[in-house]
Structure 1
Amino acid sequence: MFCQRCDKPLTDDEAERIVNAGATGAGGTITVCRIPCKPSPRQTSPVGLGR
């Protein structure tokens, strides 16, 4: 089981499950750290051409 915010592996006592009931669909459940964590860096735009 991994935190879906920081990608850290978690044990059952470190994890908190959040149920997201979908308004028009099935919804889902996410697993995050009990203690607020810092999100892992993600690339959200393409890398420049190096000019």
Structure 2
Amino acid sequence: MFCQRCDKPLKADEAEKIDHHGATGAGSTITVCRIPCRPTPQQTAPYETGR
């Protein structure tokens, strides 16, 4: 089981399940850390190598 925010592995006592209801669909259940964590950084723009 992994946290959906920070991608770290979790044990059963460290995890919290949250129901995420979809506006037009069935929705889903996500697993996150009980203690608030920081999301992993994601690249939002292309990386230029300066060639």
Both proteins in one fold, TM over 0.5: yes
Distance 2:21 2:38 in 1: 25
Distance 1:4 1:21 in 2: 16
Give unmatched runs, 5+ long, in structure 2: none
In structure 2, what is the equivalent of residue 45 of structure 1?
45
Report the AA paired with residue 48 of structure 2.
Answer: G
Percent of residue pairs identical: 73
Secondary structure of the residue aligned to 1:13 is: helix
CA deviation profile, 1:1-40 (whole Å, cap 9, x unmatched) = 0001111000111000110111211111111000001111
Report the AA paired with residue 48 of structure 1.
Answer: E
Q: What is the TM-score of this pair, normalised by structure 2? A: 0.86
In structure 2, what is the equivalent of residue 21 of structure 1?
21
Comparing both structures, which one devotes a greater share of its residues to helix?
Answer: 2
* CA RMSD after TM alignment: 1.3
